[in-house]
Amino acid sequence: MAPLKHLEKENPIIDACFQDFCASHGILTIEDFLLHDLYELTAFSQRQTNADRLKEGITLILSLIERQCRPLVNGLKLLEDLHRNKHTLSTGDKETDSLLQGGFREGQLTELVGPSSSGKTQFCMQAAASVAENHLGRVLYLDTGNSFSARRIAQFICSSSDATLGQKVMSRILCHTVYDIYTLFDTLQDLEITLRLQMNVNESRLRLLVVDSISSLITPILGGSGSQGTYP
């Protein structure tokens, strides 16, 4: 947190006298200010000869903190915002969509955890096919274990589409092979830059990012066998 003295230039009321008063109570930074009993601090300020100026400084710092913080929102408003602004992407499986109350939430992370050969990769490929086919957007599939199968995805698509449409849907799914955590970080950073530069509208918009799987990249660093996890 910023020291109080850094606020003096733009806020003259937080001068050396105010800083000395705060320092006498162990307050040197904004964080210290937040952790302190403000009622006690205000009571001490009233005993000083410059009480009004000290109270004005305390009020100013509180207003500066309030500007930087998001307003408090109750649960009902959060729920309304979720239904109004958060779109869902079908996973391609009705039961899973029902469990997730519609499917994957755009802008949120969903983790699949399970032992080896439990169907995580199969599920991710099905979800990739579903999003590419039904949501008219691109899917980026980061494959860390050489388990991506274009043939399997084509089977998901062709079961509900004709051949021409199937090829178009397949072209929306991009697969990138990643074999270590550092390459993954570089790939994600490049992706962030690309997304900021592009308009990402219509079919060029990235709708789903799949990392299959993150555990195979982390386990060699942490050691041990670890659980298998996948992030769509």
Digit-by-digit pLDDT tens for the chain (232 residues) are 578 888 888 889 999 999 999 999 999 888 888 888 888 888 999 999 999 999 999 998 888 887 777 667 777 877 777 667 667 888 888 899 888 888 888 888 888 888 888 889 999 999 999 898 887 788 999 999 888 988 888 888 866 556 677 788 888 899 999 988 888 988 888 888 787 766 555 556 888 999 988 888 888 777 655 555 555 6
pLDDT, position 175: 92
pLDDT, position 199: 56
pLDDT, position 85: 65
Torsion of CA 22, 28, 29, 33, to 10 degrees: -30
- Smallest CA-to-CA distance from 144 within 223, 50, 213 is with 213
What are residue 210's DSSP bridge partners? Answer: 141
pLDDT, position 123: 92
pLDDT, position 202: 55
d(CA 62, CA 2): 14
- Smallest CA-to-CA distance from 188 within 214, 170, 223 is with 214
| 210 membership: H or E segment, kind and range | strand 206-212
Q: Which fold has domain 89-221?
A: Rossmann fold (3.40.50)
Tokens encoding 222: 């942490």
- How many residues does the structure list for the chain? 232
pLDDT, position 228: 55
225 to 37, 124, 215, 219: CA distances (angstroms): 48, 22, 9, 7
Domain ranges of the chain: 4-68, 89-221
Q: Compute φ and ψ for 43, nearest 5 degrees.
A: -65, -40
pLDDT, position 195: 79
pLDDT, position 140: 93
Residue 20: CB atoms within 10 Å: 9
